[in-house]
């Protein structure tokens, strides 16, 4: 294709100029000489050239009018246009370039100069096309790869979360519900302009999805503790508490071996900080207030809401109203007071999700 002779249209009302230009270019290119803008557009219906040489001063339609039409049509906008003109004032030169011409050759021109300019612009255009093709194929390759990685990751994620959920002996849907509550709370924060600066840095979909892994550290907890029907002893609870730090370590290890980090970074922070408490009495680090990552402060609230409103091997289910009361009592001690305010304002939406069992499922493509 690169070896095919390129096609050049030259438009000028002066036949002498057309003849000179043809003489300069005909050895290397297919040259069509055209005497008016009107004829050019008739010809363009059939053939699209690789370059156009355009006279400015012509009767009927002048060069400026011609180029405007060329640049406004999808089929012809990409064609490089070189103006040929006797007007040599800088103003008309600028005007031509502003209208999208790639260059200006003033008349009278030498055949050699015209040939050089044409060669240069055809080369530039070919390179531009090459870069475009290359970028296009890179994007395609990247997309396929991302897709494959994403599907693999999602499969692993699903397996791991199912494992955690089944071992935890928690009635199904905890993870999906928690995701839904998390999205609900985040949406209400955004609506009320709270913590927006931090949230604007996140891919919220990715964050919500990463919450699936918040309890992944429980795979290190013995069945006898995890599934104990009654109250845990102090020692047992100490064992249980290790799931937060351990979860964050597991995710750190996965993170080290993949290039995609935003998702796992959120997951790691969530796993590591969802049992911290606002007053510093939580675990594993005993962080206080805004030292606790926002991810963890959000997760703490929705995790507890779901734990409270569902039956566990060690506890009965509380009603929505009881759960709201318990959470709001924990404002400033267990939970971030600002988040509690937002929760108080949107608790009815939590009740709706809880009673309808409506959970959103996150499809693969929504996050890519």
Q: Which of Fe ion, ligand SIN, ligand C2E, none binds 103 (CB below 5-8 Å, type-dependent)?
A: none
Shortest approach of Fe ion to residue 352 CB, angstroms? 25
CB of 161 to ligand SIN, least distance (A): 19
DSSP state of 109: -
Q: β-strands 30-34, 51-55: how paired?
A: unpaired
Smallest gap from Cβ 183 to ligand SIN, in A, equals 21
Tell the smallest beta-carbon distance from residue 339 to ligand SIN (Å).
16
| Region near ligand SIN per CB under 6 A, out of 66-74, 159-167, 180-188, 265-273 | 265-273
- Are the CB atoms for 321 and 347 separated by under 8 Å? no
Answer with the entry of ligand SIN, Fe ion, ligand C2E, none that 273 interacts with (C-beta below 5 to 8 A by kind): ligand SIN
Nearest-angstrom CA–CA distance, 342 and 356: 21
Residue 285 touches which of ligand C2E, ligand SIN, Fe ion, none (CB < 5 to 8 A by kind)? ligand SIN
Q: Which stretch binds ligand C2E (CB under 6 A): 204-212, 291-299, 308-316, 358-366?
A: 308-316
Q: Is 228 in the site for ligand C2E (CB under 6 A)?
A: yes
Question: Alpha-carbon dihedral of residues 245, 248, 250, 252, nearest 10 degrees?
Answer: -130
Among Fe ion, ligand C2E, ligand SIN, none, partner that 336 touches (CB below 5 to 8 angstroms by kind): none
Closest residue to ligand C2E using C-beta atoms? 314
Radius of gyration, CA atoms only, the chain: 34
The residue behind tokens 């503790």 is: 225
Inter-residue contact 41 to 52 (CB < 8 Å)? no
Residue 253 belongs to what H/E stretch?
A: helix 234-256
The residues that touch Fe ion, with contacts defined as CB under 5 A, are 215
Q: Are 70 and 81 in contact (CB under 8 A)?
A: yes
Do 303 and 243 touch, CB atoms closer than 8 A? no
Among ligand C2E, ligand SIN, Fe ion, none, partner that 287 touches (CB below 5 to 8 angstroms by kind): ligand SIN
Site membership for ligand SIN, residue 273 (CB under 6 A): yes
């Amino acid at each position: 294709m690169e070896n095919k002779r390129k096609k050049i249209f030259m438009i000028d009302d002066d036949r002498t100029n057309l003849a000179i230009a043809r003489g300069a270019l005909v050895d290397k290119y297919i040259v069509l000489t055209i005497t008016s803008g009107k004829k050019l557009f008739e010809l363009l219906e059939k053939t699209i050239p690789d370059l156009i040489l355009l006279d400015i001063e012509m009767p009927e339609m002048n060069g400026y009018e011609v180029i405007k039409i060329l640049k406004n049509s999808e089929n012809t906008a990409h064609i490089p246009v070189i103006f040929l003109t006797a007007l040599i004032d800088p103003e008309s030169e600028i005007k031509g370039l502003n209208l999208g011409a790639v260059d200006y050759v003033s008349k009278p021109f030498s055949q050699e100069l015209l040939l050089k300019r044409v060669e240069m612009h055809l080369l530039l255009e070919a390179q531009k096309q090459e870069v475009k093709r290359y970028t296009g194929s890179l994007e395609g390759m990247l997309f396929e790869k991302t897709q494959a990685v994403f599907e693999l990751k999602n499969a692993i994620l699903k397996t791991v979360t199912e494992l955690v959920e089944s071992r935890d002996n928690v009635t199904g849907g905890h993870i999906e519900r928690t995701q839904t509550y998390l999205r609900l709370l985040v949406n209400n924060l955004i609506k009320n302009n709270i913590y927006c600066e931090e949230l604007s840095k996140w891919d919220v979909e990715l964050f919500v999805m990463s919450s699936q892994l918040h309890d992944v550290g429980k795979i290190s907890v013995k069945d006898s503790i995890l599934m104990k029907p009654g109250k845990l002893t102090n020692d047992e609870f100490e064992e249980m508490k290790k799931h937060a730090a351990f979860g964050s370590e597991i995710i750190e290890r996965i993170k080290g071996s993949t290039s995609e980090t935003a998702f796992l970074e959120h997951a790691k922070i969530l796993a590591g900080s969802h049992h911290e408490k606002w007053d510093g009495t939580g675990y594993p680090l005993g962080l206080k207030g805004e030292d606790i990552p926002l991810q963890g402060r959000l997760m703490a609230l929705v995790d507890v809401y779901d734990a409270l409103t569902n039956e566990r091997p060690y506890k009965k289910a509380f009603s929505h109203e009881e759960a709201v009361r318990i959470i709001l009592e924990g404002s400033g001690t267990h939970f971030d007071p600002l988040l509690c305010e937002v929760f108080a304002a949107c608790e009815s939406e939590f009740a709706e999700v809880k009673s309808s069992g409506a959970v959103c499922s996150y499809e693969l493509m929504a996050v890519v």
